[in-house]
Amino acid sequence: LQAMMQGESVSKPVLQVMNTRAIATGTGPPRYRVLMSDGVNTLSSFMLATQLNPLVEEERLSARCICQVNKFIVNSLKDGRRVVILMDLNVLKTADEVGGNIGNPQPYNEGQGQQRSAAPAANPAPSKPQQQNGNLSVAGPAAPKYHAPSNQFGKASAPSTVKTPGLSQAKVVPIASLNPYQSKWTICARVTQKGQIRTWSNSRGEGKLFSIELVDESGEIRATAFNDQADKFFPLIELNKVYYFTKGNLKTANKQYTAVKNDYEITFTNETSVVPCDDAQHLPAVQYDFVSISDLENMPKDSIVDIIGICKSYEDVTKITVKANNREVSKRNVHLMDTSGKLVTATLWGNEAEQFDGSRQPVIAIKGAKVSDFGGRSLSVLSSSTVVINPDSPEAFKLRGWYEFDSEGQLLECASISDVRGGAGAGANTNWKTLFEAKSENLGQGDKADFFSCVGTIVHLRKENCMYQACPSQDCNKKVIDQQNGLYRCEKCDREFPNFKYRMMLLVTIADCLEYQWVTCFQESAEFILGQNAAFLGELKEKNEQAFEEVFQNANFNTYEFRIRVKLETYNDESRIKATAMDVKPVNYREYGKRLIASIRSNAQLG
């Protein structure tokens, strides 16, 4: 014990537990404080690392038992006291086997470093417990009292060893040992994730912060810097580099915001210092745990995953306004594909969306993306996620090789599990239904419109009244009134025009194997189905009836994929389910075939 307290390195000391005491921490698991003895001295300033809590809770570690400490750290508190954190220990003999206290240990007084008995402080001969089993009950235990450490150590002068005059002599502690009971610590860790600066403003004021995740051989931990520290450190700290971090606040982690495995997290204070570390070979690099895109379909919504894929295509950045706080935010959808042949859409936000360059189909690795069920399955990049383009990792090279050289890679028409096609309005859930299912599930009868996609064949088109005369202004589609004097009036624009534009409103019946449905197709869908644009059709109707009819006949009995919006609508006191085609596309038979096969198989399972 003496050697331990004086900072000498002791390998695997065997100690007896005299007593354990739980200390409540308010939030989080209790900490256990242990009074230990080496037969010569007792010392109460032992804390059990939380991962060893079960040992006490299951009563394997209890007063009188003997244990061998495999890993411990000595921390110095502000007032010079030392606390030993027990990171890993084995119970050699349980309390009942031991029976009583060994020896006559005296409480250790740190100031009395000189008082050493001949036997070294550590390692009472392991054979002792067996022999003395019978005798122990006789030896009156020294009744080690459970002192508050201040009695013993309050006067101890600041020990000379181990204190850190300069940073270079700082003793580096493992991340796993960090806890709120010590504020002077130094860790050497690699930044595995760096978030963007986020600002907030609420009734209590505003501020900014950014978070990072740090890793070393013992574990990982999250750290956040606010306001001034955020400004100071954001440019300094780089992803994947190793630094010495000294002195920050430890508090219990808010597990809601992070997937990092640590009970605590660090907050930088104005005393915190960050110094680059050169000798970092021993530290693990950014840990990715990649999931293949096809597995995403089985993951529950809101889970956090790491993913890597080729950016097969990407969309332009768009700005949307967040209703909640009326702010404009940039977003961009990128489509990632991996060797499983599946495509997933990932949404990037803010700066990352704006600066994204997907040209030449880079490999993208995302750590900590959130799985959402938007459109099946898609990914959203959080502020705590990291997006790395063309990372320097074996998986990236493998992907690149597969994509470039394996012809499969490029030709692969992937099944998109995010099905973003024709997503009409935010929150549209693409789901494939047969018309029968759509009717039997009563889609559209709720308050909101329902959307679904289906494969259907056109079996009838209504030629009569398939077009109307609409306002020629750019964005106005209101029906104009024919003033009969060569002018047409639009009520919405409150203007009269000498012309109009034809707009289609085509009613078609589509059918699949079990059901049929009337669907209204507006301009784009109708033009697609008929294969002609509205203006031309308008002319045909007036000039060449036969050709006009032919267009409709040719359009009949074609099969397409329809994206349909159904809603209960009330018109003149009558409520009816109305279906509108939001989008009409040629059938992608490959996808359709895959869906059918999957559906057959799952139905077969149901017996």
Partner 1 sequence: MGDIHEVPRPRIAAGHLAQYIGQPVCFVGRVEKIHPTGKFFVLSDGVGKHTTVELSEPLDEEISGIVEVVGRVTNQATIMCMSYVQFREDKSPFDLELYNEALNIIHEFPEYFPFG
The residues that touch partner 1, with contacts defined as CB under 8 A, are 411, 413, 590, 593-594, 597, 600-601, 604
Angstrom distance (rounded) from CA 148 to CA 76:
17
The distance of closest approach from Cβ of residue 586 to partner 1 in the complex, given in angstroms and rounded to an integer, is 10
The distance of closest approach from Cβ of residue 340 to partner 1 in the complex, given in angstroms and rounded to an integer, is 13
The distance of closest approach from Cβ of residue 600 to partner 1 in the complex, given in angstroms and rounded to an integer, is 5
How much helix, strand and coil, in percent to the nearest 5, is found in the chain? 20, 40, 40
The distance of closest approach from Cβ of residue 588 to partner 1 in the complex, given in angstroms and rounded to an integer, is 9
Q: What would the DSSP string read from start to end of 31-44?
A: EEEEEEE-SSEEEE
The distance of closest approach from Cβ of residue 593 to partner 1 in the complex, given in angstroms and rounded to an integer, is 5
Q: Find the helix or strand (DSSP H, E) in which 502 lies.
A: strand 501-511
The distance of closest approach from Cβ of residue 412 to partner 1 in the complex, given in angstroms and rounded to an integer, is 8
Query: In one letter, which amino acid is 229?
Result: Q
Angstrom distance (rounded) from CA 375 to CA 307:
18
> Which two three-digit tokens encode residue 534?
């509205």
The distance of closest approach from Cβ of residue 410 to partner 1 in the complex, given in angstroms and rounded to an integer, is 10
Residues linked to residue 495 through DSSP beta bridges, in sequence order: 490
Closest CA relative to residue 424, chosen from 583, 584, 591: 583
Considering the complex, state which of residue 478 and residue 595 has its C-beta at the smaller distance from partner 1: 595
Closest CA relative to residue 176, chosen from 85, 113, 107: 85
Residue 311 neighbours by CB distance under 10 Å: 21
Considering the complex, state which of residue 329 and residue 597 has its C-beta at the smaller distance from partner 1: 597
Considering the complex, state which of residue 321 and residue 599 has its C-beta at the smaller distance from partner 1: 599
> Which two three-digit tokens encode residue 163?
């204190």
Q: What is the 3 state secondary structure string of 228-247?
A: HHHHHHCCCCCCCCEEEEEE
What is the maximum span of the chain, computed from C-alpha positions, in angstroms?
122
The distance of closest approach from Cβ of residue 594 to partner 1 in the complex, given in angstroms and rounded to an integer, is 6
Query: In one letter, which amino acid is 500?
Result: F
Considering the complex, state which of residue 322 and residue 604 has its C-beta at the smaller distance from partner 1: 604
Angstrom distance (rounded) from CA 490 to CA 477:
9
Considering the complex, state which of residue 56 and residue 455 has its C-beta at the smaller distance from partner 1: 455
Considering the complex, state which of residue 143 and residue 411 has its C-beta at the smaller distance from partner 1: 411
Considering the complex, state which of residue 234 and residue 592 has its C-beta at the smaller distance from partner 1: 592
Considering the complex, state which of residue 604 and residue 606 has its C-beta at the smaller distance from partner 1: 604
Residue 426 carries which DSSP code? T
Can you tell me which residue has the tokens 């680059």? 276
